[in-house]
Structure 1
């Protein structure tokens, strides 16, 4: 099922016009969220990022839409107690070219089953493409995901499940679809956002929860050697929460460290 511009229908019946700028130019944004226990997790964080992005792009959006209610109804119709909710907003059928005509946006929402937990998450560092700190992709979830798709394909070519992407100067930024935390000794590290790492909602929730407990996470520009020597690496996003990687560039990582468990527990409980 899909909610498309105000109507719930079978996905096979959904139609988006060939002049939609999301199709033609990637002119739009999306959010991927987790629905669980009758709640759309961290909706306020997702809504804030989405609203900021739509305002930046000057794409109209009905702020009165009850996205959590729509998500709950889609999950119910799909027979899902827990689901991944994808909200996509494009500029609509505003024509080709860089100067769009005025048009109502296209808004679509889907609910999909959660993926089965992986028994191992392998990471591979790639040298290109690289994250651009001043690009829209570093701040919002833009539809144009070409860099991330290429990064994932390159990681798959190295026998890994997810790519570690770098900043323009070769520092650690993020994974292709997640933020990164790592543990060395008694310290937890995560790249600062000005490396080009996406301002992830799960990342923000973990940082806020650590700070509320008086705990510290080092945020900075870290050389590749810092991650390469880590004892444990945790990837975080809205779909999977916090998951410890099992290997990095073929090197086994620890998954049972107390700090790893703390991060995973905090992510599970953080608003």
Structure 2
């Protein structure tokens, strides 16, 4: 069992001591959050769905106007970190920033900065969620991008935990169900699994996409559908998906207890079984 404080770190072509200072104080990822990242499960020493994560990393970089990271370099860094980590369950995080830049919002000078790290993560458990009083802006310049500008999520998650939950859920500016701080939301209703469309402003979750594909492959109806945020107070069954959770049932919303839905349980079992067999779907 890995220590929860253990970190394996790669930077500038080599594994490094996690205590070693590496980034310059003027790196734009640090000064203004001008960066993107991916986090994927490291399962038995193998990163799950790495191709999809690297595809999204490149889309996010393009959306921020960053140079495209060298995919071969990223893959080598991930391989080195995974080998050094071992076989314990972990999260591997790929960070790509704009590099050196001004102490303001003008564009960075570059070149980009790549950091890859692994750390321990616990086994997924059922979730308790709270709908937070803030909204996602589905028309934002960074809507749908996985950026390092995560202060909004940090604040929302702290609010949710203060209200007895372990994940926060956002509406968007139109009052529609959007997403969690690091999760996509599924509603189980009328024999189908429903999830907000990307037009809601939610992130195109890698696990969200895989869950939808594998559920459809098993003959389970699953579709994108615009849902009012009020569904969180009305639904009998809800689920969350993310790269480190897989698919888990929601067992409470704003203090209202829920039971895991039968479709959620069925698809979660499919995902748990299949993602061990097919590590890069």
What is the TM-score of this pair, normalised by structure 2? 0.88
* 4+ runs deviating over 6 angstroms: none
Q: Superposed, which structure 2 residues align to 1:110-129 within 5 Å? A: 110-118=117-125, 120-128=126-134
- The answer for the alignment partner of 1:82 in structure 2 is 89
Q: Distance in 1 between matches of 2:108 and 2:84?
A: 36
- Counterpart of 2:254? 249
Structure 1 SS opposite 2:267: helix
The reply on whether 1:19 has 2:19 as its aligned counterpart is no
CA distance in 1, matches of 2:9, 2:116: 6
Instruction: Determine which of 191, 200, 206 is the counterpart of 1:201.
Output: 206
Asked if 1:218 is matched to 2:223, the reply is: yes
- What is the Cα-based RMSD across aligned positions, in Å? 1.9
Report the number of matched residues. Answer: 267
- Equivalent position of 1:148 in the other structure: 153
Residue 136 of structure 1: CA displacement? Answer: 4.5
- Counterpart-to-counterpart distance in 2, 1:136 and 1:7: 34
The equivalent position to 1:104 in structure 2, one of 98, 111, 128, is 111
2:71 counterpart residue number: 63
Matched, 1:265 2:269: yes
Deviation, structure 1 residue 64: 2.1
| Shift, 1:44, TM fit | 1.4
TM-score (structure 1 length as normaliser)? 0.91
User: Unaligned regions of 5+ residues in structure 2, if any?
Assistant: 1-7, 276-280
- Find the partner of 1:43 among 37, 50, 54: 50
- Pairing of 1:182-197 with structure 2 (within 5 A): 182-197=187-202
Q: Unaligned stretches of 5+ in structure 1?
A: none
1:164 to 160, 166, 169: 169
